[in-house]
């Protein structure tokens, strides 16, 4: 007979079952409670997050798949469109990035796109099935870009008014 030699306590393997465990919450570990979730929870403490984070990676990946399937269709994906709203000319020197001005990549730097052109692109993205629209600007930081920030706020409002989720990446500060 094959024997398993594992340092993982038996109680943890039970957490991999596809349905919530019939554990009374006060006896269940934080990890087991997370696996047995029946609704989103936003009150995790640092210690609880640390306990979950410390689980063996593959067990965690499997358990995450189990919980994901409880709340979502496994094959469903969110369609998201990413638009470069300001290209190239970035003063940062990230060596992997073609938008850094420190490397000759052949990329032509542009100014910040207009609000209208971004919203026109968002409408097309929505017509093509996206329900999230992300806007990326090749800036090292936002310092001194008050007008640009005001325009980006208008872009975000406009994207949300289309019924889409909006996100941005604008540098480090």
Position 87 contacts ligand SF4 (CB under 6 A): no
Alpha helices of the chain — where are they, by DSSP H? 10-13, 30-35, 46-53, 57-71, 115-127, 146-161
How many Cβ atoms are within 10 Å of 99's Cβ, its own excluded? 20
Tell which one of 11, 12, 70, 140 touches ligand SF4 (CB under 6 A): 140
Tell which one of 32, 81, 87, 99 touches ligand SF4 (CB under 6 A): 99
80 or 97, CB closer to ligand SF4?
Answer: 97
86 or 126, CB closer to ligand SF4?
Answer: 86
Tell which one of 15, 90, 112, 166 touches ligand SF4 (CB under 6 A): 90
Taking the complex as a whole, how short is the minimal distance between the CB of residue 92 and ligand SF4, in angstroms? 4
Tell which one of 33, 55, 87, 100 touches ligand SF4 (CB under 6 A): 100
Phi, psi for 25 (deg, rounded to 5): -50, -40
CA distance 46 to 41: 14
Taking the complex as a whole, how short is the minimal distance between the CB of residue 151 and ligand SF4, in angstroms? 18
Sequence-ordered list of residues with C-beta below 8 angstroms from that of 84, at least 6 positions apart, any chain: 136, 137, 138
Q: Which of 50, 42, 11, 44 is nearest to 28 (CA)?
A: 11
SS3 assignment, position 137 = strand
- Residues forming the site for ligand SF4 (CB under 6 A): 90, 92, 94, 97, 99-100, 138, 140, 171
């Amino acid at each position: 007979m094959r024997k398993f030699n594992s340092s993982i306590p038996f109680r943890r393997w039970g957490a991999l079952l596809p349905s919530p465990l019939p554990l009374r919450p006060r006896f269940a570990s934080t990890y087991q409670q997370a696996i047995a979730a029946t609704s989103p929870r936003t009150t995790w403490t640092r210690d609880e997050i640390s306990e979950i984070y410390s689980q063996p990676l593959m067990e965690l990946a499997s358990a995450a798949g189990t919980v994901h399937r409880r709340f979502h269709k496994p094959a469903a994906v969110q369609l998201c469109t990413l638009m470069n709203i300001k290209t190239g000319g970035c003063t940062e020197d990230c060596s992997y990035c073609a938008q850094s001005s420190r490397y000759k990549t052949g990329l032509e730097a542009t100014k910040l796109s207009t609000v209208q052109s971004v919203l026109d692109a968002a409408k097309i993205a929505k017509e093509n099935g996206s329900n999230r629209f992300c806007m990326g600007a090749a800036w090292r930081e936002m310092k001194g870009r008050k007008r640009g920030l005001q325009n980006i706020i208008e872009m975000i409002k406009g994207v949300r008014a289309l019924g889409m989720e909006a996100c941005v990446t604008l540098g480090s500060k």
